[in-house]
């Protein structure tokens, strides 16, 4: 019997929050303290040119180590690149060269920092009012000050240029910004930062050996993406630092949250900071509209009122709960997730909202009467079919090319595999959440609706060989998309059909190949486009299909998918310092945005292939993704830290400095439980044999599946 341990983590917030929290300014800091904002940034000056704002995003050499508690952060920029080219800035391999480095960390109620400035540039320190809401900082009495107690103090020479700016030449520049009297030497700041870095590295989740750096890439990308909702004083993780949409006045709004991006961000954040994962889920849930739409996107003063995005929220919230043990999160999220679930099937205008033909399956849609009067320029004069495609999250997927939009039902005239399957997953996950919260009647209701949706999917969307979208007239769509494998994730696929799906997946003329998983099959005419969702490889699709393969018991294929995605991601990350939005499935080159928050989903899938906890597999460990010796250290699940030693020859699991178990051979342990009396698990052996070692006992198993129940030997006093 699976047991879900609950660990109330509680949220502890500092007296102040700080970091690169203003979207355009990766090269600066915002401090939020007692409801007030203070901002300063470091503008690179090269001759008569300068790099400021979003221009600096294209000059980032590499987002460096960053501690969740704010004790250490390092980011570097390459001033040798041309300034002012924006997206046209060349993407070059990250080589050792003179860089502009910004290092800072928390010290009491303030921040200590170090600038390392190479020859050939100067740095202009600009003090400004973030979002035009912050405090005015001006120079007086030897420091830049605001109010009665904020000060920015230099510990090295600088040249004050104006009441709101100063200049620093090549070399080192150390500073303090905060609300305390600061009397330390410049050398003390460097020593303190190095000490903080050492402490952070000792406790941070990380990998050694074959997959060096892949775990750290998750925290580096997410924590350097973290921004502030200034009017709320809350941090959140956007889809990307450039994904801040305009408000009703056409100017950049205060913040923007996207629905499924945010839930994926929370899953990534749970690897290194459960409190940040909780805050990300709470932030996106706060964007729900009164009529139940958790929108595609919403900002402080604007939003997408007419359509939502893929319903992955309950599944990923449940997964974060299992990872972090935060029952209070489930209690807060449940009523909002429930309201959103019924948004899709609420009756109105003679039909269910996203079931326009009334056959029990769902279609993507857009509620035309609800369209906001203040749309971004690119959403003006866009038809309903495109808005419905935006709701799918796969904006230009070939599946939607020839589909009509019904103006009466506000839906596409096509029952979709992806939405129907994700809605089934939503029902199943909500049933689990309700059960955990003791809501037995509601849990049973969700499971009943789940079974009904599973029946409709299997009755109407299976063409005899594959799950396909179906036009209202009864004809199946000719397109095969990666998202057509989502029935595996929903757990609705009979075994014989699952094997047929696997054959399609492994067919190199369709989906398999050197780079996987393309969004559309390789034999589709649109595959050659390799543009956006037309044949490229996307992190969220890979992640959902990966877990679908695991739920169906296809561990080897899931592991192969995780390895392929991780290689794509890490090649771009290690070679170019980039976290790409998507990848070309022919060349493997990165595309789209240079820094996208869900990019590390590739790394997350690989980590979860080694150690994970899910609602259908319980606590799970395996070594299918290891081809040479390596280690995973400080991986936290429900408040406990775990270390793994892995290779193609075996695995050993440790916690609290003690070995829990080990095995030699290739295998996976699922539903793993152990205590002082023994061990229980499901073992799947993928090598010719596997020998399990547990507290003085060992037993060898041949290839296959086994239910384990091992008692510990008695110890004589």
Whether residue 686 is contained in a domain is answered as no
Q: Is there a single domain that holds both residue 167 and residue 270?
A: no
Residue 222 and residue 159 in one domain: no
Q: Which helix (H) or strand (E) holds 614?
A: strand 611-614
Rounded mean pLDDT of the chain?
95
Is 292 contained in some domain? yes
DSSP conformation class of 239:
S
Residues 114 and 228 in one domain: no
Q: Omega before 517 cis (within 30°)?
A: yes
For residues 120 and 241, membership in a common domain is answered with no
User: Considering 159, 179, 203, which residue would you say is the last residue of a domain?
Assistant: 203
Query: Which pLDDT score, from 0 to 100, does residue 347 have?
Result: 78
At residue 5, does pLDDT exceed 50? no
How many CA within 13 A on the CB side of residue 218? 30
Joined tokens for residue 690: 């596997």
pLDDT in tens, 396-426: 999 999 999 999 999 999 999 999 999 999 9
pLDDT of residue 712: 67
Which candidate, 549, 687, 650, 544, places its Cα nearest to that of 604?
544
Percent of the chain exceeding pLDDT 70 equals 97
**Separation in Å, CA 455 to CA 170, 361, 462, 578:** 68, 10, 11, 43
CA distances from 619 to 263, 638, 642, 669 (A): 21, 11, 12, 8
Among 238, 234, 204, smallest CA distance to 222 is for 238
**Mean pLDDT on 200-206:** 97
Overall number of domains in the chain: 2
Nearest to 388 by CA among 426, 353, 352, 422: 353
Give 145's strand partners. 138, 151
The per-residue pLDDT for 128 is: 98
- Per-residue confidence (pLDDT) for residue 96, from 0 to 100: 85
Beta bridge partners of 258: 297
| Paired strand residues for 643 | 654
Q: Report, as an integer, the average pLDDT of 665-673.
A: 98
Place of tokens 């993406």: 225
**Crossing angle (nearest 10°) for helices 327-343 and 313-324:** 170
Nearest to 309 by CA among 299, 297, 321: 297
The predicted structure's pLDDT at residue 187: 95
CB of 587 closer than 8 Å to CB of 613: no
Task: Indicate the helix (H) or strand (E) that contains 619.
Answer: strand 618-622
pLDDT at 11: 34
User: Is position 515 within any domain?
Assistant: no
pLDDT given for residue 331 in this prediction: 98
Contacts 24+ apart (CB under 8 A), 512-515: 513/585, 514/588, 515/564, 515/568, 515/583, 515/584, 515/585, 515/586, 515/587, 515/588
Read out DSSP for 167-187?
EE-SEEEEEEEESS-----HH
Domain closes at, from 439, 456, 491: 491
Looking up residue 479, the CATH number of its domain turns out to be 1.50.10.10
Contacts of residue 103, defined as CB under 8 A and 6 or more positions apart, other chains included, come to 72, 73, 74, 113, 114, 115, 116, 193
Return the pLDDT at 714: 45
- Do 192 and 302 fall into the same domain? no
The C-alpha atoms of residue 319 and residue 282 are separated, in whole angstroms, by 15
Average pLDDT value for residue range 469-482: 98
Sequence-ordered list of residues with C-beta below 8 angstroms from that of 202, at least 6 positions apart, any chain: none
What average pLDDT score do residues 136-153 get?
95
> Which run of H or E residues covers position 314?
helix 313-324
Region for residue 665 given its phi and psi (left: phi exceeds 0; alpha: psi -120 to 50; beta: otherwise): left
Tens digits of residue pLDDT in 328-341: 999 999 999 999 99
Whether residues 93 and 149 fall in one domain: yes
- Cβ of 561: how many Cβ atoms within 10 Å? 27
* Same domain flag for 32 and 137: yes
Please indicate, yes or no, if residue 526 is contained in any of the structural domains: no
Q: Which secondary-structure segment (H or E) carries 454?
A: helix 440-460
- Of the candidates 431, 458, 436, 429, the one whose C-alpha atom is nearest the C-alpha of residue 447 is 431
Average pLDDT value for residue range 581-598: 96
544 or 714, which is more confident?
A: 544
Please say if the pLDDT value at position 184 is more than 90: yes
Q: Are residues 179 and 226 in the same domain?
A: no
Q: How sure is the predictor about 6, in pLDDT bands with cuts at 50, 70 and 90? A: very low
- Exposed, middle or buried: residue 347 (CB in 10 Å: 0-12, 13-18, 19+)? exposed
Helix (H) or strand (E) holding 218: helix 214-225
Mean pLDDT for the stretch of residues 472-478: 97
E strand or H helix that includes residue 42? strand 36-46
> CB of 43 within 8 A of CB of 51?
yes
Q: What is the pLDDT of residue 8?
A: 28
The residues, ordered by sequence, that sit 6+ positions from 60 with a Cβ below 8 Å of its Cβ are 26, 75, 76, 77, 78, 577, 595
Scan for tokens 């299976």, then name that residue.
462
pLDDT of residue 458 exceeding 70, the answer is yes
Helix (H) or strand (E) holding 28: strand 28-33
Number of residues in the chain: 717
- pLDDT attached to residue 13: 41
Selection from 622, 496, 608, 613 nearest residue 552 by Cα = 496
Which neighbouring-strand residues pair with 708? 681
pLDDT > 90 in the chain, percent: 93
Average the pLDDT over 193-213 and give the result. Answer: 97
Is residue 648 domain-resident?
no
Structural tokens at position 568: 């794509």
The 10s digit of each residue's pLDDT in 7-51 is 223 333 445 899 999 999 999 999 999 999 999 999 999 999 999
CA trace torsion 354, 357, 359, 362 (10° rounding): -20
- Of the pLDDT bands very low, low, confident and very high (cuts 50, 70, 90), residue 352 is confident
- 260-270, pLDDT tens digit by residue? 999 999 999 99
Q: State residue 15's pLDDT score.
A: 54
Would you say residue 704 has pLDDT above 60? Answer: yes
Query: Residue 134 pLDDT > 60, yes or no?
Result: yes
pLDDT at 48: 94
77 CB burial (10 A radius; 0-12, 13-18, 19+): buried
From residue 245, give the alpha-carbon distance in Å to each of 128, 251, 261, 510. Answer: 22, 8, 15, 37
Residues 272 and 163 in one domain: no
Structure tokens at 558: 């899931």
Q: How far apart are CA 250 and CA 257, in angstroms?
A: 17
Whole-number Cα distances in Å, 356 to 308, 347, 389, 438, 462? 16, 10, 16, 34, 20
Q: Give dist(CA 74, CA 20) in Å, integer.
A: 11
Residues 189 and 235 in one domain: no
Closest CA to 556 of 629, 623, 484, 488: 623
In a domain, residue 675? The reply is: no
- pLDDT for 652 equals 98
pTM for the full predicted model: 0.96
In terms of Cβ atoms closer than 10 Å to its own Cβ (0-12, 13-18, 19+), residue 87 is exposed
Last residue of a domain, one of 157, 181, 203: 203
In a domain, 565, yes or no: no
d(CA 345, CA 216): 41
Q: How many other CB atoms are found less than 10 A from the CB of residue 10?
A: 9
Residue 165 pLDDT greater than 60, yes or no: yes
At residue 676, the pLDDT reads 77
Q: Is residue 644 part of a domain?
A: no
* 236 and 186 within one domain: no
Answer for the pair 624, 199: CB distance below 8 angstroms, yes or no: no
**pLDDT given at position 350:** 66
- Residue ranges making up the domain that contains 245: 216-491
CA gap 325, 329 in Å, rounded: 9
* Mean pLDDT across 507-518: 98
Confidence of residue 81 (pLDDT cuts 50, 70, 90): very high
Which pLDDT score, from 0 to 100, does residue 397 have?
A: 98
Whether 469 and 339 share a structural domain = yes
- Residue 713, pLDDT score: 53
The Cα 452–Cα 467 span in angstroms is 17
> What pLDDT score does 3 carry?
34
Cα angle: 354, vertex 360, 361; to 5 degrees: 60
């Amino acid at each position: 019997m699976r047991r879900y341990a609950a660990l109330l983590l509680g949220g502890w917030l500092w007296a102040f929050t700080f970091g690169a929290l203003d979207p355009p300014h990766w090269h600066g800091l915002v401090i939020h303290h007692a409801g007030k904002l203070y901002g300063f940034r470091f503008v690179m000056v090269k001759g008569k040119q300068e790099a400021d704002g979003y221009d600096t995003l294209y000059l980032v050499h590499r987002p460096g180590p960053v501690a969740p508690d704010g004790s250490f952060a390092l980011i570097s920029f390459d001033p040798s690149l041309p300034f002012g080219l924006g997206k046209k800035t060349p993407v070059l391999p990250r080589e050792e060269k003179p860089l502009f480095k910004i290092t800072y960390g928390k010290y009491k109620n303030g921040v200590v920092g170090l600038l390392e400035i190479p020859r050939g540039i100067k740095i202009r320190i600009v003090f400004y009012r973030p979002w035009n809401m912050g405090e005015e900082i001006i120079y007086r009495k030897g420091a830049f000050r605001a109010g009665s107690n904020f000060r920015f103090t230099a510990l090295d020479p600088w040249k004050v240029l104006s009441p709101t700016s100063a200049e620093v030449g090549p070399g080192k520049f150390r500073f303090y910004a905060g609300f305390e009297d600061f009397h330390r030497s410049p050398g003390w700041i460097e020593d303190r930062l190095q000490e903080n870095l050492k402490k952070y590295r000792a406790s941070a989740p990380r990998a050694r050996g074959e997959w060096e750096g892949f775990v750290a890439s998750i925290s580096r990308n997410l924590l350097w993406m973290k921004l502030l909702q200034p009017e709320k004083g809350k941090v959140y993780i956007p889809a990307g630092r450039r994904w801040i949409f305009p408000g009703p006045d056409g100017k950049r709004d205060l913040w923007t949250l996207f629905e499924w991006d945010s839930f994926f961000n929370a899953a990534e954040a749970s690897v290194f900071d459960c409190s940040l994962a909780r805050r990300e889920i709470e932030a996106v849930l706060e964007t729900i509209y009164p009529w139940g739409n958790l929108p595609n996107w919403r900002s402080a003063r604007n939003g997408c009122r007419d359509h939502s995005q893929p319903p992955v929220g309950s599944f990923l919230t449940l997964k974060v709960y299992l990872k972090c043990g935060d029952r209070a999160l489930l209690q807060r999220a449940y009523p909002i997730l429930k309201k959103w679930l019924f948004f899709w099937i609420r009756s109105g205008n003679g039909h269910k909202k996203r079931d326009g033909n009334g056959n029990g399956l769902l279609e993507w849609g857009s509620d035309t009467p609800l369209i906001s009067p203040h749309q971004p320029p690119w959403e003006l004069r866009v038809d309903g079919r495109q808005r419905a495609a935006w709701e799918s999250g796969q904006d230009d997927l070939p599946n939607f090319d020839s589909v009509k939009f019904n103006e009466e039902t506000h839906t596409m005239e096509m029952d979709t595999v992806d939405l129907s399957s994700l809605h089934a997953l939503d029902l199943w996950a909500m049933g689990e959440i309700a059960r955990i919260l003791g809501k037995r009647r509601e849990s049973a209701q969700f499971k009943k609706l789940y079974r009904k949706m599973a029946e409709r999917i299997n009755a109407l969307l299976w063409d005899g060989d594959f799950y396909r979208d179906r036009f209202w007239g009864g004809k199946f769509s000719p397109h095969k998309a990666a998202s057509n494998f989502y029935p595996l994730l929903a757990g609705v696929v009979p075994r014989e059909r699952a094997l047929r799906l696997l054959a399609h997946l492994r067919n190199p003329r369709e989906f398999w190949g050197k780079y996987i998983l393309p969004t559309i099959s390789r034999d589709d005419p649109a595959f050659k486009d390799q543009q956006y969702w037309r044949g490229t490889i996307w992190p969220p699709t890979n992640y959902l299909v990966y877990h679908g393969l695991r739920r169906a018991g296809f561990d080897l294929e899931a592991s192969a998918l995780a390895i392929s995605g991780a290689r794509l991601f890490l090649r771009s990350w290690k070679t170019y310092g980039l976290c790409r939005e998507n990848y070309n499935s022919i060349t493997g080159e990165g595309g789209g945005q240079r820094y996208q928050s869900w990019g590390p989903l590739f790394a997350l899938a690989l980590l979860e292939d080694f150690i994970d906890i899910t609602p259908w597999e319980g606590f799970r460990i395996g070594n299918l993704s290891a081809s040479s010796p390596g280690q995973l250290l400080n991986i936290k699940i429900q408040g406990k830290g775990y270390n793994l030693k892995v290779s193609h020859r075996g695995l050993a699991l440790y916690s609290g400095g003690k070995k829990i178990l080990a095995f030699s051979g290739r295998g996976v342990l699922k539903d793993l439980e152990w205590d002082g009396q023994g061990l229980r698990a499901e073992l799947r052996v993928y090598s010719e044999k596997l020998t399990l070692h547990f507290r003085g006992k060992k037993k060898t198993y041949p290839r296959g599946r086994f239910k384990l129940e091992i008692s510990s030997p008695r110890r004589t006093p």
